[in-house]
Amino acid sequence: MLYASCKRVARKRVPGPEKGVREKGVREKGVREKGVRHLFDTRLWWYTVLMARNEPFDNNSDKYEQWFDRYPFVYKTELAALREVLPSSIHAAAAEGTVKSGTSRGGSFQEYSIGDCSLEECSLEIGVGSGLFAGPLGITHGVDPSLPMLELARERGIRVTDGIAEKLPYQDSSFVLTLMVTAICYIDDLDQSLEEIRRVLRPGGKAIFGFVDSDSPLGKFYSEHKDESLFYRPATFRSVTEVLEALHRHSFVLEAVRQTVFGKLDEIQSVQPARDGHGTGGFAVIRAGCRGA
């Protein structure tokens, strides 16, 4: 009896989990499993979207530059409009050919130490593609999710890294200038991308955007016929107004809004001057300043 009583006491003193505790544990396990599933689903969604957007560029990098060969003066017109709004230090470095070139270490796409370019020269193109704009504009660094396109950019002497606009693989306050040409119509989260641009820009840095204005005649034509285009099929065209509102939400200071590329592309046989404003020219250029935190 004494032995049996001790056993009962022992069981009483070292009880199993109370019913409420057990139920809480089950609930917490369910929450953890739900969180893991959500994280997996989110990553799978991002991967699927990224693969869909990248596919035309990954599989057709050799065809990408054919459009620029077909419309050389449109390309030169866009370059001229972007060059007009470059900060003087970047503009001078590009004109004098003093920007240091480089390739990624070990033949792989890794993050560069920002210390390998001077304070005045450190610049980044987001969505650098093959480097058609970064090269002649003197941009030192480029990031893009398409590895075949990065290979082409690296051949142009740009320090390249694979990544996306929503999660830039650089430290805070790394650059005096960010550039995004056309890539703004391929990003999924404009607000997150602008927050990342603010993060990697130094206080007083500049953000320049060049893109097809969806409110322009050219933008409306592209929007209507984008499914017929290999590279524009996954694009989401944005208006200047939409981009300006987003910049305002993220405390950028608007400095310039320019437009160019007027008329039919195949009729442009010389470099067109840029004008202030937006809505008429197919290619819009915006420069905004970063006030810092």
Taking only the tens place, the pLDDT of each residue in 105-128 is 333 333 334 445 555 569 999 999
- For residue 131, which of 100, 111, 159 has the smallest C-alpha distance? 159
Distance CA 166, CA 156 (A): 25
For residues 195 and 250, is the Cβ–Cβ distance under 8 A?
A: yes
Q: Each residue of 169-200: b (16+ CB within 10 Å) or e?
A: ebeebbbbbbbbbbbbbbbeebeebbebbbeb
pLDDT at 220 over 70: yes
The pLDDT value recorded for residue 19 is 60
Taking only the tens place, the pLDDT of each residue in 22-68 is 565 555 555 455 554 544 443 443 444 454 456 665 656 567 778 88
Determine phi and psi for 287, rounding to 5 degrees: -120, 130
Taking only the tens place, the pLDDT of each residue in 255-293 is 999 999 999 999 999 999 999 999 999 999 999 998 754
What is the 8-class DSSP label of residue 213?
A: B
SS3 204: strand
| Measured distance between the N- and C-terminal CA atoms of the chain, rounded to whole angstroms | 75
239: left (phi over 0), alpha (psi -120 to 50) or beta: beta
23 compared with 199, residue with greater pLDDT: 199
- For residue 118, which of 140, 91, 150, 92 has the smallest C-alpha distance? 140
The pLDDT value recorded for residue 91 is 58
pLDDT at 217 over 70: yes
Tokens 């470099």 locate to 271
146 compared with 292, residue with greater pLDDT: 146
The pLDDT value recorded for residue 53 is 57
pTM for this prediction: 0.74
Distance CA 282, CA 261 (A): 5
Determine phi and psi for 157, rounding to 5 degrees: 85, 15
81 compared with 223, residue with greater pLDDT: 81
For residues 126 and 165, is the Cβ–Cβ distance under 8 A?
A: yes
Count of C-beta atoms within a 10 Å radius of residue 90: 24
The pLDDT value recorded for residue 113 is 41
For residues 173 and 142, is the Cβ–Cβ distance under 8 A?
A: no
Average pLDDT, the chain: 78
204: left (phi over 0), alpha (psi -120 to 50) or beta: left
The pLDDT value recorded for residue 27 is 59
Cα torsion 108, 195, 187, 204 to 10°: value is -80
* Pairing relationship of beta strands 275-276 and 283-290 according to DSSP bridges: unpaired
- Which residue pairs from 118-123 have beta carbons closer than 8 angstroms and sit at least 24 positions apart in sequence? 119/176, 120/89, 120/90, 120/93, 120/176, 121/89, 121/90, 121/93, 122/174, 122/175, 122/176, 122/177, 123/90, 123/175, 123/176, 123/177, 123/178, 123/179
- Cα angle 127, 132, 136 (rounded to 5 degrees) comes to 115
Taking only the tens place, the pLDDT of each residue in 81-109 is 999 999 876 655 555 544 443 333 333 33
Taking only the tens place, the pLDDT of each residue in 149-163 is 899 999 999 999 999
